[in-house]
Structure 1
Amino acid sequence: MSRRAWNGVSVDIAEFHCGGRVAHHLCYENETRLSVLLEEVGSHCEPRLREDQPCPIGYMPRHMHFAPAGMEMWGYSADARFVKDATLTFDLAVLGDRLATKFNADTTAAPRLRFCDDRIWTLVKLLSDAVNDRDPSTQLYGDGLTAAIVARLFADRPEPGEDGSGLAPWQLRRIVEYLDAHLPERVDLAHLAALADLSQSHFSRAFKASTGMAPYRWQLDARVRRAQALLIDSHASLDQVAEATGFADAVHFGRTFRKLTGATPAAWRRDRKN
């Protein structure tokens, strides 16, 4: 585990090599915290309020959860292989003083069990990459990132349905289940829109509002996650993994994999093999 603090925000980066079903009590229950899933290989991870109570909100990539101090949380996966996450804990008094702001109590006390915000995810990923960087300039860099995360996370949120841009839970569940079932096949946008009973343009906007990704990017991300599972769980060659996940060849696969993960498939596999 790696740890660093900026601006009244403590950042813990943890990696877990798993095998099979995982159900565990999450730490930091006495602190206000944000937990962000940076990588997952195997079946999807989910936050739970009780160990035996499934998350009522459907899966979405790059998801996270927010919990106020005093709330217990559990983590669960039916068959996890590798998980990397970032947990940010907030000292609201210090943050309020340093950022010269007063936080809305309703916002900081309201749990958000499973949600997606691509801006927050990107900021947290940048912050996680800086945790072990001891260059002096990293202090100002991290201060800026944490300030941006806090501003986004604790901004007054619109009332449900106010912007009318997201998919309904049943629509998102139907689309995600369809995409998962048809990986890595070609899927037409028109068919996805029809499944949600929306026009293509409305569906595209609503899907991105709900998941933080365009439909094509969600499918590409899912293909790379399936490739990661094969890299960890098998001795398949890169050509075989590329073919199994719908890439034209190992070169195309390697280029896409590196773009999305920051590492080549071979280097990623080597770093995560026990």
Structure 2
Amino acid sequence: MLCRYAREMAGMFKPRMTSSREGITVLEDLRWRRWNGAVADVWHAACEAGAHGYYVAKDPRLFVVLERSGGGSDLKLSPGANEVVASRAEHHLTFVPAGMPLWSRIDAPMTIRHLDIHFDVDTLSSRIGEELDADRLSTPRLRFTDARMMSLARLIAAECMDGDGHHDLYGDGLIVALFIDLMQLARVPERKRGALAPWQLRRVTDFIEANCLRNIRLQELAELAELSQSYFSHAFKAATGLAPYQWHTQARLKRVQQMLAGDMPLTDIAAAAGFADQAHLTRVFRRAFGQTPGAWRRGLRAN
């Protein structure tokens, strides 16, 4: 699993962490997902009494305790010459700035399932469309609670654990929502944004049509239009009345309709069109057209 992780991350944003640990045993294979601006991974581990670990990452990360049973632990950060020791109270989230070491020590045997989210700050700043507060990015937050952020983190962890999961845009949205809460970003005054120019719209829609049977990342489309992701999303909707993912879904389903005109089995169509399975295709198709792919095919042949 870790080897596959390394291969798939080649040439893309990847967490850069140095760590050492003693008395900590990983109980399950690593579950992870990569989205536009972050990598998230879920770990399940058993810790002996006296176990300890040291971690330092080159990118900021959020550590989220999802489940814990047994003893407690101490966390210690060392920002510069000052040391801060966390209280032993049971909390759920810890934000660790880039380059800041973290030590953990376990006082009694326990098992823990936790989520790590590693943030690609440059990409997220571009997606949000504004510069991020350097002070907030460099200020640690130890074992804090936030109900909304915890709910978002659990949804992200569920996507990591689910072998199929939702469309990438679902996870992209969760990551941005969580990061906005984490950075405490307020709503900025609405700026009037125009629609895509004809050449931009043609270039983007042609690309979607040619690649509709695979997942298309918002970043790819924004780069084609030579715009930031945030500006592109608004400009595309202003030009078409649809969000980019909705246009993509429509193009994918039109291609499915073309395949249904032939004799390809529904299971093969679902695989070719990038759906998790036939049931997934059926749900999306019914929601769009009010009937199943099989019923649509029978109606086509009856005519």
TM-score, normalisation: structure 2: 0.47
Q: Which residue of 1 aligns with 2:113?
A: 84
**Contact 2:38/2:119 (CA < 8 Å) preserved in 1?**
yes
Match of 1:49 among 77, 91, 111: 77
Shift of 1:46: 3.1
Q: C-alpha distance in 1, partners of 2:98/2:182?
A: 16
Which protein is bigger by CA-based radius of gyration?
2
Q: Aligned residue for 2:179?
A: 150
Shift of 1:125: 1.0
Shift of 1:30: 1.6
Q: Assess, with a 3 A threshold, how the Cα gap between structure 1 residues 49 and 143 changes in structure 2: closer, same or farther.
A: same
Deviation at 1:56, TM superposition (A): 3.5
Separation of aligned partners in 2, 1:118 and 1:74: 25
The DSSP-based 3-state class of the residue aligned with 2:129 is: coil
Supply the distance in 2 between the matched residues of 1:118 and 1:76 (Cα, whole angstroms). 26
Larger RCO: 1 or 2 (CA < 8 Å, sep 6+): 1
Q: 1:43 to 1:134 in 2, by over 3 A?
A: closer
Runs of 4+ that moved beyond 4 A? none
- Pairing 1:222-261 to 2, within 5 Å after superposition: none
Aligned partner (choices 1, 19, 28) of residue 48 of structure 2: 19
Count how many residue pairs are aligned between Structure 1 and Structure 2: 154
Report the Cα distance in structure 2 between the residues aligned to 1:123 and 1:60, rounded to whole angstroms: 22
**Residues 48 and 106 of structure 2 are in contact (CA less than 8 Å); yes or no, is this contact kept in structure 1?**
no
> For 1:35, which of 52, 57, 63 is the aligned residue?
63
TM-score, normalising length from structure 1? 0.51
CA RMSD after TM alignment: 2.3
Q: Given that residues 36 and 123 in structure 2 are in contact (C-alpha distance below 8 angstroms), is that contact kept between their aligned partners in structure 1?
A: yes
Contact kept, 8 Å, 2:75 with 2:86, in 1: the verdict is: no
State whether structure 2 residue 160 is matched by structure 1 residue 125.
no
2:68–2:113 contact (8 Å) kept in structure 1: yes
Q: Which residue of 2 aligns with 1:75?
A: 104
Give the distance between the partners of 2:74 and 2:83, measured in 1 at CA. 8
User: Amino acid of the residue matched to residue 67 of structure 2?
Assistant: E
Q: 2:51 touches 2:107 (CA, 8 Å); kept in 1?
A: yes
Gapped runs of 5+ residues in structure 1?
Answer: 158-274
Structure 2: runs of 5 or more not aligned:
1-29, 187-303
